[in-house]
A and B are shown apart, each in its own frame.
Chain A
Amino acid sequence: MPPSSADFIFQPIFGNSIFLTKPVLLVFLSVIVAGTFFTLSARKAAIVPSKLQFAGESIYTFVRNGLGKDVIGPEFMRFVPFLFTLFVFILTNNVFGVVPFLQFPSMSHIGFPVGITIFSYIVYHYVAIKKHGLKKYLTDICFMPGIPKPVYLILTPVELLTYLVTRPLTLAMRLFANMFAGHLLLLVFTLGGEYLLTSGLIMKVLSLFSFSFAVGLSFFELGIQCLQAYIFTLLTALYIAGALADEH
């Protein structure tokens, strides 16, 4: 059976309640895993760090400096908890796609990316409105200063569309589509190998190639999953930085 979008629909785990399916369970698991990991790594904080503390702190430093300080600027410390939570949550959920036995990136269900996108959408608009006031913020978006008047006819709708529709849409779609496509890619090679196993002798040998491709692509997917978590957080940081900037 060729892989299709039907492979992303799971049966409920207990009885008929459609709430608790595998992706939802994975999201809960990701919260527990990330929470336990960072609690353990920060509990016995010492000047000479243990391996665990070192691992936890490098992730934190990466987000704080690479995504906070370098992108947002002097006011970055306010947003580090948000960015860090976002990064870790997306990362754990994505990496579930290649963890043996779990093997499903929960972000490949559009609902989860949409949820976190709504969160960052509210944050960057709220930050801008709080800093500039609603009126100035809207005029900044609609009428970018230093541009000849007739151009506003085209620019204003485009800018409005960018801020209100395109940004959240692409933010959610990018994460979802990457995870969806990645999982589908792995399915193609594993199901293809399985199909070849049921055919003749030569095909059985060829299925080895298919399976080893699936293993190789799993590592490629791991890279993509980390990259996507990074990019989602980076873009959120960029939008917050744009909201904090004096001139749009």
Chain B
Amino acid sequence: MTGTLAIVGFGLSTIGPGTATGLIFAAYINGVARQPEARSILQPIAFLGFALAEALALFGLVLAFVLK
């Protein structure tokens, strides 16, 4: 078997952000389900949180390329 351990590292680094993204959207859906009129307020916050969490996984991807 060939390949680099860096890819495994990237896989590990996605666990945290993956969970975080799930939690963010779970909270967003909960909020909208309870109070549908709050949707327009919650949407940008949810997407901001999503992008902030997603960036962490991408740091892992960049490092997987750097530490080849």
Is B58 part of the binding interface, using a Cβ–Cβ cutoff of 8 Å?
yes
- On whether the beta carbons of A231 and B51 are closer than 8 Å, the reply is yes
Interface residues of A, CB < 8 Å — how many?
A: 15
Q: In the complex the two chains form, what is the Cα distance from A199 to B13 in whole Å?
A: 34
Is A180 part of the binding interface, using a Cβ–Cβ cutoff of 8 Å?
yes
- On whether the beta carbons of B51 and A173 are closer than 8 Å, the reply is no
Q: In the complex the two chains form, what is the Cα distance from A181 to B13 in whole Å?
A: 14
B9 → chain A closest CB, angstroms:
15
Is A132 part of the binding interface, using a Cβ–Cβ cutoff of 8 Å?
no
- On whether the beta carbons of A174 and B55 are closer than 8 Å, the reply is yes
Chain B residues positioned under 8 Å from A207 (CB to CB): none
A188 → chain B closest CB, angstroms:
12
Is B48 part of the binding interface, using a Cβ–Cβ cutoff of 8 Å?
yes
Q: In the complex the two chains form, what is the Cα distance from A247 to B58 in whole Å?
A: 33
- On whether the beta carbons of A177 and B61 are closer than 8 Å, the reply is yes
- On whether the beta carbons of B52 and A181 are closer than 8 Å, the reply is no
Is A112 part of the binding interface, using a Cβ–Cβ cutoff of 8 Å?
no
Chain A residues positioned under 8 Å from B62 (CB to CB): 173, 176-177, 180-181
B58 CB contact (under 8 Å) in A4, A181, A231: A181
- On whether the beta carbons of B55 and A173 are closer than 8 Å, the reply is yes
Q: In the complex the two chains form, what is the Cα distance from A184 to B65 in whole Å?
A: 11
Q: In the complex the two chains form, what is the Cα distance from A178 to B52 in whole Å?
A: 11
Q: In the complex the two chains form, what is the Cα distance from A122 to B30 in whole Å?
A: 40
- On whether the beta carbons of B61 and A231 are closer than 8 Å, the reply is no
Is A61 part of the binding interface, using a Cβ–Cβ cutoff of 8 Å?
no
Chain B residues positioned under 8 Å from A181 (CB to CB): 58, 61-62
Q: In the complex the two chains form, what is the Cα distance from A241 to B36 in whole Å?
A: 30
Among A4, A5, A174, A180: residue with most chain B CB under 10 A: A174
Q: In the complex the two chains form, what is the Cα distance from A209 to B48 in whole Å?
A: 31
| Nearest 6 A/B pairs, CB to CB | A177-B58, A174-B55, A177-B62, A5-B65, A181-B58, A231-B51
